């Protein structure tokens, strides 16, 4: 890590349109379908485009394992799929801003990572506007239907009863209208082209397809996409989602009118009701995207900004860091080397997550947010925790999510969580070429009232110094709090660069083959550290290196002295960072 970074840390802690995927001859046709020009840009392709050879090169990067870091003084995008990262950086090259790039990557992920996210899920955005120095939050979470959920129970997510009112498209539109600069047809161009003209099935996607094949192939539309010829697509085969391409094209033209007040809402509700659900078009019509004030706190002189309730992961992160601040982390050493820090950090994360199960949407239920993120409350909880034995592991939601972080040359920063909010294809339902996700899985943690916004476990966040972001991040999976907390302390307290921190062994929540979950450390986590905390009763198990359950640190560091942006894809996903 550059010495300038170490000096800063010590002082701070102390005081192109994807059109020609089948060959050049199809470029003008695909561009016309997407409603954009096929003019070639300076990089040799249209905005967002990737020719077949380059597409295959990028798909080859969609694997778990060590990733190449990215660095530069201009724009940057990081997310968990190389094709989506490229869609975002192509938008930056076409003079889009950070919000445009993050949205383009997010929509592309609904096509190339359909096992992790989709337009029937959620999308929420934390955005820093460099011109005004303000940070805003768009909540595109899901709502509970108005009707009674009769028969609600563990089996609900395998039926239509487990479906929430999706907020993805409302969150997308609100982010684009408030912060974006480019038209929707440009932001969705790569997604439409990959859906219509196809892309190769990468190993992670195939693994999820294989695991969920029994439900994935139940519906006609599911079989049409994933079982052409009557058998599950093999790795490396082209995956086509032509109905989804048509749906995205209608969304480009009609937007929320189609999604919330038109044919999409009507057909979605028909499918859900036929599968035992209670969703109605009225539930779609009354959906409200929200512009909320972010949650705020501080850590060793840095300003913390995160997603506010009911997107309570950002608030949780502030609570956790303000408790950890009471420890001399710099003296204790990194969590991998300090049994004391591991003991405290693991229990603090468990405590905050467990307490969060009582936090409902403050729009409908009084929640003392100022108290929850206060320093006084952090000290009280920390002191009480010192008297406690290890806490019982609290079940967390399924790990189906994506996170995107983007920065542009002007200093605007966007960090977006979008997600299916459930295991992939758990109910086997499809409409208009896209999966209908069982996002009501989050109702098991905090049950919202009829028609209310769900409390969801997502954590878009930024760390600011002197009013400017130095680190923007987020993560998918049930371990997102442990993931972000470990990386923040690695970087701010120990001066690690983002590549070193991201690749360090991690502790968090791992998932068993039977769907259970448990506290775990990756196999390359020092065994002596784990043994020491287990002697105190923590019960931490060892799992494989680069464990999927430990999340994916989708972060960008912005050096406050040089302005250089740095990012590194996480080895626990298929992530790629790219600079412009």
- pLDDT tens digits, 136-158: 999 999 999 999 999 999 899 99
The pLDDT mean for the chain works out to 90
**58, part of any domain:** no
Same domain, 271 and 388: no
Q: pLDDT: is 95 or 366 the higher one?
A: 95
Q: What is the mean pLDDT of residues 28-43?
A: 33
Q: What is the mean pLDDT of residues 451-468?
A: 96
**458, part of any domain:** no
Residue 433 has pLDDT above 50, yes or no: yes
**27, part of any domain:** no
The sign of the dihedral angle between the CA atoms of 551, 290, 359, 514 is: negative
In terms of DSSP H, where are the helices of 188-338? 189-197, 203-211, 213-216, 220-226, 242-254, 256-261, 263-274, 281-285, 313-324, 329-332
Q: What is the mean pLDDT of residues 34-44?
A: 33
Same domain, 266 and 312: no
Read off the pLDDT band of 49 (50, 70, 90). low
- List the beta bridge partners of residue 138: 125, 291
Of 388, 416, 444, which residue sits at a domain end?
A: 444
303: left (phi over 0), alpha (psi -120 to 50) or beta: beta
Tokens coding 509:
């929540």
Read off the pLDDT band of 37 (50, 70, 90). very low
Residue 379 has pLDDT above 80, yes or no: yes
Residue with tokens 């003991």: 343
Same domain, 419 and 368: no
Same domain, 265 and 312: no
In whole angstroms, give the CA distance from residue 519 to residue 522. Answer: 10
pLDDT of residue 8: 30
In whole angstroms, give the CA distance from residue 560 to residue 464. Answer: 9
Same domain, 302 and 177: no
Residue 34 has pLDDT above 90, yes or no: no
In whole angstroms, give the CA distance from residue 38 to residue 183. Answer: 15
Residue 271 has pLDDT above 90, yes or no: yes
Q: Model's pTM, two decimal places?
A: 0.91
Same domain, 383 and 404: no
Same domain, 127 and 231: yes
In whole angstroms, give the CA distance from residue 311 to residue 141. Answer: 8
Residue 20 has pLDDT above 60, yes or no: no
Overall domain count for the chain:
2
In whole angstroms, give the CA distance from residue 159 to residue 441. Answer: 11
Q: What is the mean pLDDT of residues 100-115?
A: 98
Same domain, 316 and 405: no
% residues pLDDT > 90 (the chain): 82
In Å, how far are 116, 230, 443 from 401, measured between CA atoms? 5, 29, 16
For the chain, the maximum distance between any two Cα atoms, rounded to a whole number of angstroms, is 70
The sign of the dihedral angle between the CA atoms of 150, 152, 155, 161 is: positive
Residue 487 has pLDDT above 90, yes or no: yes
Same domain, 410 and 368: no
Q: What is the mean pLDDT of residues 268-280?
A: 98
Phi, psi of 445 (to 5 degrees): -85, -50
**225, part of any domain:** yes
- What crossing angle do the helices spanning 189-197 and 82-93 adopt, rounded to 10°? 140
Which residues lie below 8 Å from residue 214, measured CB to CB, with a gap of 6+?
A: none
Same domain, 96 and 234: yes
Residue with tokens 């758990």: 426
Same domain, 371 and 487: yes
**28, part of any domain:** no
Read off the pLDDT band of 3 (50, 70, 90). very low
Phi, psi of 239 (to 5 degrees): -105, 120
Which residues lie below 8 Å from residue 79, measured CB to CB, with a gap of 6+?
A: 85, 88, 105, 106, 109, 402, 403, 404, 405, 554, 575, 576
**456, part of any domain:** no
pLDDT of residue 105: 98
Output DSSP code: residue 117: -
**Measuring CA to CA, which residue among 251, 16, 266 is closest to residue 123?**
251
Residue 210 has pLDDT above 50, yes or no: yes
Which of 20-34, 35-49, 141-155 has the lowest average pLDDT? 20-34
**10, part of any domain:** no
Residue 11 has pLDDT above 70, yes or no: no
In terms of DSSP H, where are the helices of 60-183? 82-93, 98-112, 168-179
Which CATH number belongs to the domain containing residue 330 in this structure? 1.10.246.130
Residue 26 has pLDDT above 90, yes or no: no
Residue 6 has pLDDT above 80, yes or no: no
Q: What is the mean pLDDT of residues 316-321?
A: 98
Same domain, 176 and 310: no
In whole angstroms, give the CA distance from residue 114 to residue 189. Answer: 17
Its domain, for residue 437, covers: 66-291+399-444
% residues pLDDT > 70 (the chain): 90
Tokens coding 44:
């040799």
Cis upstream peptide for 401 (omega within 30°)? no
Of 444, 478, 506, which residue sits at a domain end?
A: 444
Distance, first Cα to last Cα, the chain: 21
In whole angstroms, give the CA distance from residue 379 to residue 313. Answer: 20
- What crossing angle do the helices spanning 82-93 and 52-59 adopt, rounded to 10°? 130
Q: pLDDT: is 366 or 194 the higher one?
A: 194
447 within 8 A of 197, measured Cβ to Cβ: no
Phi, psi of 299 (to 5 degrees): -145, 110
Which residues lie below 8 Å from residue 229, measured CB to CB, with a gap of 6+?
A: none
**571, part of any domain:** no
Q: What is the mean pLDDT of residues 306-320?
A: 96
Q: pLDDT: is 513 or 530 the higher one?
A: 530
Residue 16 has pLDDT above 90, yes or no: no
């Amino acid at each position: 890590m550059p010495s300038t970074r170490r000096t800063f840390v010590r002082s701070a802690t102390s005081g192109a349109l994807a059109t020609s995927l089948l060959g050049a001859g199809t470029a003008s046709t695909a561009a016309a379908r997407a409603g954009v020009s096929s003019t070639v840009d300076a990089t040799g392709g249209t905005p967002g485009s990737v020719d077949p050879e380059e597409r295959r090169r990028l798909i080859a990067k969609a694997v778990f394992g060590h990733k190449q870091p990215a660095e530069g003084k201009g724009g940057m995008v990081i997310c968990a799929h190389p094709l989506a990262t490229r869609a975002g950086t192509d938008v930056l090259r076409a003079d889009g801003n950070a919000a445009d790039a993050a949205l383009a990557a997010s929509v592309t992920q609904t096509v190339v990572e359909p096992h992790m996210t989709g337009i029937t899920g959620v999308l929420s955005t934390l955005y820093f506007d460099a011109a005004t120095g303000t940070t805003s939050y768009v909540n595109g979470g899901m709502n509970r239907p108005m009707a009674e959920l009769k028969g609600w129970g563990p089996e609900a997510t395998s039926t239509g009863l487990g479906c929430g009112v999706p907020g993805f498209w409302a969150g997308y539109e609100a982010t684009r209208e408030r912060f974006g600069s480019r038209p929707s047809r440009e932001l969705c161009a790569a997604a439409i082209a990959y859906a219509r003209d196809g892309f190769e099935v990468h190993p992670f996607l195939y693994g999820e397809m294989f695991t969920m094949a029994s439900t994935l192939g139940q519906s006609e539309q599911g079989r049409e996409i994933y079982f052409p010829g009557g058998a599950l697509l093999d790795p490396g085969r082209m995956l086509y989602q032509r109905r989804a391409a048509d749906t995205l094209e209608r969304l480009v033209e009609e937007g929320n009118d189609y999604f919330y007040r038109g044919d999409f809402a009507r057909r979605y509700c028909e499918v859900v009701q036929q599968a035992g659900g209670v969703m109605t078009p009225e539930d779609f019509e009354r959906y409200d995207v929200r512009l909320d004030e972010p949650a705020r706190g501080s850590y060793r002189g840095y300003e913390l900004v995160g997603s506010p309730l009911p997107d309570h992961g950002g608030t949780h992160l502030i609570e956790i860091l303000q408790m950890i601040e009471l420890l001399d982390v710099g003296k204790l050493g990194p969590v991998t080397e300090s049994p004391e820090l591991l003991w405290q950090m693991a229990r603090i994360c468990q405590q905050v997550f467990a307490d969060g199960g009582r936090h409902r949407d403050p729009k409908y239920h009084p929640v003392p947010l100022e108290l929850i993120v206060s320093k006084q409350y952090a000290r009280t909880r920390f002191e009480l925790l010192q008297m406690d034995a290890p806490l019982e592991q609290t079940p967390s939601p399924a790990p189906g999510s994506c996170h995107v972080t983007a920065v542009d040359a002007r200093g605007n920063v966007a960090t977006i969580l979008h997600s299916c909010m459930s295991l992939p294809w758990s109910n086997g339902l499809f409409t208009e070429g896209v999966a209908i996700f069982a996002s009501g899985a989050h109702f098991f943690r905090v049950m919202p009232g009829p028609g209310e916004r769900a409390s969801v476990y997502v954590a878009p966040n930024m760390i600011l110094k002197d009013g400017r972001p130095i680190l923007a991040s987020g993560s998918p999976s049930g371990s997102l709090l442990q993931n972000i907390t470990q990386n923040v302390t690695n970087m701010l307290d120990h001066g690690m660069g983002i590549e070193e921190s991201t690749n360090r062994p991690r502790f968090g929540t791992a998932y068993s083959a039977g769907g259970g979950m448990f506290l775990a450390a990756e196999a390359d986590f020092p065994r002596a550290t784990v043994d020491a905390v287990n002697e105190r009763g923590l019960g931490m198990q060892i799992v494989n290196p680069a464990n999927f359950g430990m999340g994916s640190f989708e972060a960008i560091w912005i050096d406050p002295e040089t302005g250089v942006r740095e990012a590194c894809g996480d080895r626990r996903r298929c992530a790629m960072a790219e600079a412009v």
